[in-house]
Amino acid sequence: MALRPVQLKHLKNLFQIGTDEQVAKALDKIHPSDISVLFSELNEDQMKRLVDCLLLVKKAGKTLKELPEFILPDILEFIEIEKIAKIINRLDLDDASYMLTKIPENKWQTILEGVEIRRRINLEKLLLYPEDSAGSVMNPVTFSVSIEKTVAQAIADLQTFPERETVFYVYIVDGKRLEGVIPLRNLVIADSKASVRDIMKKNVIFIQATSDQEDAAQLVSQYNLLAIPVVDENKNLLGVIAVDDVIDIFEEEATEDIYHMAGLSGEDRAFTPVLTKIKKRSPWLLVNLTTAFLSALVILFFEATIAKVAALAAYMHIIAGLGGNGGIQSMVVITRSIALGEMEFSRVYQAIGKEMLNGLGLGIIGGMLVALIAGFVEMSPYLGVIALVSMVFNMIFAGFMGASVPLVLKWLKQDPAVGSGVFVTTIVDITGVFIFLGLATIFLDKL
Amino acid sequence: MALRPVQLKHLKNLFQIGTDEQVAKALDKIHPSDISVLFSELNEDQMKRLVDCLLLVKKAGKTLKELPEFILPDILEFIEIEKIAKIINRLDLDDASYMLTKIPENKWQTILEGVEIRRRINLEKLLLYPEDSAGSVMNPVTFSVSIEKTVAQAIADLQTFPERETVFYVYIVDGKRLEGVIPLRNLVIADSKASVRDIMKKNVIFIQATSDQEDAAQLVSQYNLLAIPVVDENKNLLGVIAVDDVIDIFEEEATEDIYHMAGLSGEDRAFTPVLTKIKKRSPWLLVNLTTAFLSALVILFFEATIAKVAALAAYMHIIAGLGGNGGIQSMVVITRSIALGEMEFSRVYQAIGKEMLNGLGLGIIGGMLVALIAGFVEMSPYLGVIALVSMVFNMIFAGFMGASVPLVLKWLKQDPAVGSGVFVTTIVDITGVFIFLGLATIFLDKL
């Protein structure tokens, strides 16, 4: 449970007046996840001291890995290289490799020199996997048992296995090749003289090391697993991805989806430095600017019409705005259905058709209201009808674009979310302006 | 692993020419998650037959629960009440209660009459918890061991426990009160004569039954648990929520966040009927329409200005559009940082300040470009300067609104995402139009 205010106060007090040993003793009773929050309240010197205290109780690595991904590099920068090497030496290999990727590559050599040789070779292998691949996030220290052994031997092996906390399944191998799996709970209740071969499940769900981490997470979620084994092309067991990492992967992917739709990069958080924000957001600003100029060109094309009836500028703004919003809604619905694997329950043309019909419905409701107000305020039934017709057509088009863009991106094997937002709103904006001002120009003498 | 095309073809063939028993035998070898996908390709009669075949191998419930949440009610409608009762009888209690919530309440009585009495009482208790509470998603059949027992006795209890698949931890109780926990793997390797009291961990992380399911999911994620025990106000053990349900909760919450920002309801998916879509989206359309009218009123207020210089309508459109997009970006960044618990690493005023400074930076970059083009195209340096100044102010304001709205909603203990999108874009739209047309009116004789 999160620290209570009184505990926090006591800890802060101790931090000011106590010795490192006293602080360390207090920290030893607290969950790393709760300790990690303390970093947000400390200055550089205090952070260094906190790390020293944590090192005394071998909790530094476990605590640091609980920090938000984009804060970790800043904090690691303060810590001396020898201390980082110590931390890397004690962490699970997947966490150690994660920690290294948060440190500038030019420091790796020096850090790895302080790491025990077998660990170092394993770490270097992990770092070679492409970013976001299953191999890059797996823990290569995996509990496996030879297919020739008995249940009693498997339990004895488990008792001497150093990283017991990460064992959810007993993987059965022939040489290195993955042949079967026994859930831990079945091992507990099995006859100790039975052969693991006889009680193992042969149909193991696994993932290739080079596959995307998201695919691994999907399999764990779909088949309600606690961990998924990672194998090479010959089905040799390389490592395992556990369910707690899967939750992290899902959170990361959900953020990525939302961010992509808004034209943001994943490294842009509340605490990101302003200059980084500006740098990351500028490219999309330019894309957005270019497309906004296209709308502006359409408006300029109808400059003479607006000069005659300036009120058109106001109604154009409503129609374009509602269209953009409608397009975004269709896009979010389809993108999310793709992400959750629900598109299998809907044909592509049906999904697009539904969004277009929804656009027709909302276009009629919204269009009637705009038409009524425009008609009465401007005392012009023609303007009302033009607003209604433009609104209906633009909302149908918004549904079409909102649904099609992510589906086409998916069909092209691209991320359905990247840039969809900017693209959909802009196109719908342009067509909305064009239909409305075009119709207004045709019937200009009636307005 | 998902069905290969050849397996799928074989299964479809068998479905056409084989007996129910033959189909059932084939289905018995396939994971429920893979079977569930078949429903998307069948008509009503075929679905009924598939359910009959699944009932033969006791897989109907497990398969149905893998269906997307919003499709399940449609399929359950086809199935006879007695068959549903049979399915409910066989499922884990949490899944059974989930299934019932997907059936109209007026059918519950009849279904529950077909359910074994102790199960029925448990089910009725579960259904009383508020929607989305921890109690409503927990499994009330939980493996617990009295604090007086030995390790050997605990293992013997486990061997006779009917729902072994859901056991990740052994919860230690005194009477019903939760006193400690032993991870299953520690039980395996413990001395069989030891008392569970001596090897249990006393500091158990738990959740109240009335708390939000999202809080339970956060705890499981934060402390890397496999399951979290659910207790009443006296810390009596009521049930457990396992990690696979936590993944579902996270996916649900991520969808909700994205949907709320776009003014959508969670029940709006690719396959949702059109009329439902229109009904669900109309209220937000009306909100959006009302706010769009406010922008329109501002534009109408400056009608005389636009009548003189019609090109202003085009540049106004660019400035308002870029501002809306900037506001959305700030809002997404802050909302996501709140959702991921990262705001602890950033002060509120710092976060708002950063988004405003980012707005200043992007406003200068974008504003200069707009100013250059407007200045040259319209041959009017004044228009250029007005565009630049409006853009800078509007982008700063966009950063302010985008960051503040979710933070204020959070401070008011509301969902930071609900309606933020519509509200932020509209306000920024109005101010953009106002600043630009206001400045243009002041300097109208120079344009």
* Residue A70 placed within a domain: yes
Chain A residues with CB under 8 Å of B168 CB are 226
Q: Which two three-digit tokens encode residue B15? A: 């479905």
Phi, psi of A183, deg, nearest 5: -60, 145
The pLDDT score that the predictor gives to residue B403 is 94
Domain boundary among A231, A259, A287: A259
Nearest to A314 among B185, B268, B296 (CB): B296
Which residue does chain A place closest to B74, by CA atoms? A345
Q: Report DSSP letters for A227-271, one per residue.
A: EEEEE-TT-BEEEEEEHHHHHHHHHHHHHHHHHHHTT--TT--TT
Question: Is B184–A187 a contact, with Cβ atoms under 8 angstroms apart?
Answer: no
Residue B93 has pLDDT above 70, yes or no: yes
Assess B159–A contact: CB distance below 8 Å, yes or no: yes
Chain B residues with CB under 8 Å of A314 CB are 295-297, 299-300, 303
Q: What is the CA radius of gyration of chain B?
A: 30
* Residue A265 placed within a domain: no
The pLDDT score that the predictor gives to residue B430 is 93
Together in a domain, B229 and B334: no
Domain boundary among A67, A98, A132: A132
CATH number at residue A15: 1.25.60.10
User: What is the rounded average pLDDT for all residues in chain B?
Assistant: 89
**B contact test, residue of A64, A186, A325, A441 with most B CBs within 10 A:** A325
Helix (H, G, I), strand (E, B) or coil at A144: strand
* Residue B266 placed within a domain: no
- What is the C-alpha separation between B225 and B243, in angstroms, rounded? 7
Together in a domain, B290 and B438: yes
Together in a domain, B402 and B366: yes
CATH number at residue A194: 3.10.580.10
Chain A residues with CB under 8 Å of B61 CB are none
Together in a domain, A291 and A245: no
Nearest CA among B179, B215, B213, B216 for reference residue B195: B179
Q: What is the 3-state secondary structure (H, E, C) of chain B?
A: CCCCHHHHHHHHHHHHHCCHHHHHHHHCCCCHHHHHHHHHHCCHHHHHHHHHHHHHCCCHHHHHCCCCCCCHHHHHHHCCHHHHHHHHHHCCHHHHHHHHHCCCHHHHHHHHHCCCHHHHHHHHHHHHCCCCEHHHHCECCCCEEECCCEHHHHHHHHHHCCCHHHCCEEEEEECCEEEEEEEHHHHHHCCCCCEHHHHCECCCCCEECCCEHHHHHHHHHHCCCCEEEEECCCCEEEEEEEHHHHHHHHHHHHHHHHHHHCCCCCCCCCCCCHHHHHHHHHHHHHHHHHHHHHHHHHHHHCHHHHHHCCCHHHHHHHHHHHHHHHHHHHHHHHHHHHHCCCHHHCCHHHHHHHHHHHHHHHHHHHHHHHHHHHHHHCCCHHHHHHHHHHHHHHHHHHHHHHHHHHHHHHHCCCCCCCCHHHHHHHHHHHHHHHHHHHHHHHCHHHC
Per-residue pLDDT reduced to its tens digit, B416-444: 877 677 788 888 999 999 999 999 999 99
CATH number at residue A400: 1.10.357.20
Helix (H, G, I), strand (E, B) or coil at A172: strand
Helix (H, G, I), strand (E, B) or coil at A437: helix
Q: Please, what is the end-to-end C-alpha distance for chain B in angstroms?
A: 68
* Residue B339 placed within a domain: yes
Helix (H, G, I), strand (E, B) or coil at A413: coil
Residue type, A169: Y
* Residue A347 placed within a domain: yes
- What is the C-alpha separation between A320 and A391, in angstroms, rounded? 8
Together in a domain, B413 and B352: yes
Together in a domain, B305 and B228: no
Together in a domain, B282 and B244: no
* Domain of B150, in residue numbers: 144-259
Residue whose tokens read 């035998």: B25
Per-residue pLDDT reduced to its tens digit, A144-193: 999 999 999 998 898 888 776 678 899 999 999 999 999 888 887 888 89
Nearest CA among A417, A249, A285 for reference residue B258: A417
Pairing of strands B207-208, B227-231: parallel
Domain boundary among A132, A166, A192: A132
Together in a domain, B416 and B302: yes
* Residue B269 placed within a domain: no
Together in a domain, A84 and A173: no
Together in a domain, B178 and B123: no
Question: What region, left, alpha or beta, does residue B263 occupy, with left being phi > 0 and alpha being psi -120 to 50 degrees?
Answer: left
The distance of Cα B39 from the centroid of its chain, to the nearest Å, equals: 24
* Residue B353 placed within a domain: yes
Q: For each successive 10 residues of chain A (447 residues), what is the average pLDDT?
A: 74 86 89 86 86 91 87 87 90 89 88 87 89 90 92 90 79 95 85 92 93 91 90 94 88 84 82 88 89 91 92 92 91 87 79 94 95 89 94 96 92 79 87 95 89
Residue whose tokens read 């970059």: B365
* Number of structural domains in chain A: 3
Per-residue pLDDT reduced to its tens digit, A347-370: 888 899 999 999 999 999 999 999
Question: Is A318–B303 a contact, with Cβ atoms under 8 angstroms apart?
Answer: no
Assess B379–A contact: CB distance below 8 Å, yes or no: no
**CB neighbour list of residue B288: distance below 8 Å, 6 or more residues apart:** A321, A322, A325, B263, B422, B426
What is the ipTM score, two decimals? 0.81
Band the pLDDT of B339: cuts 50, 70, 90: confident
The pLDDT score that the predictor gives to residue A265 is 81
Task: Count, in order, helices (H) and strands (E) of chain A.
Answer: 22, 6
Residue B1 has pLDDT above 60, yes or no: no
- What is the C-alpha separation between B306 and A67, in angstroms, rounded? 53
* Helical ranges in A378-413 per DSSP H: 381-411
* Residue B268 placed within a domain: no
Nearest to B281 among A285, A329, A377 (CB): A329
Chain A residues with CB under 8 Å of B185 CB are 158, 164-165, 167, 184
Per-residue pLDDT reduced to its tens digit, B16-60: 888 999 999 988 888 888 888 888 778 888 888 999 999 998 999
Together in a domain, A403 and A427: yes
> Residue A189 is inside which H or E element, if any?
helix A184-189
**Higher pLDDT pick, A37 / B297:** B297
Question: Is B264–A167 a contact, with Cβ atoms under 8 angstroms apart?
Answer: no
Which residue does chain B place closest to A157, by CA atoms? B189
Please identify among residues 308-367 of chain A the ones whose CB lies closer than 8 Å to any CB of chain B: 310-318, 320-322, 325-326, 328-329, 332-334, 336-337, 340-346, 350-351, 354-355, 357-358, 361-362, 365-366
**CB neighbour list of residue A112: distance below 8 Å, 6 or more residues apart:** A85, A120, A123, A124
Phi, psi of A273, deg, nearest 5: -60, 145
Please identify among residues 233-262 of chain B the ones whose CB lies closer than 8 Å to any CB of chain A: 243-244, 246-248, 250-251, 254-255, 257-259, 261-262
Paired with A178 in beta bridges are A173
How many residues are there in chain A?
447
Which residue does chain B place closest to A336, by CA atoms? B255
Residue type, B39: F
Together in a domain, B26 and B110: yes
Q: Which two three-digit tokens encode residue A262? A: 């808004």
Assess B108–A contact: CB distance below 8 Å, yes or no: no
- What is the C-alpha separation between B307 and A307, in angstroms, rounded? 5
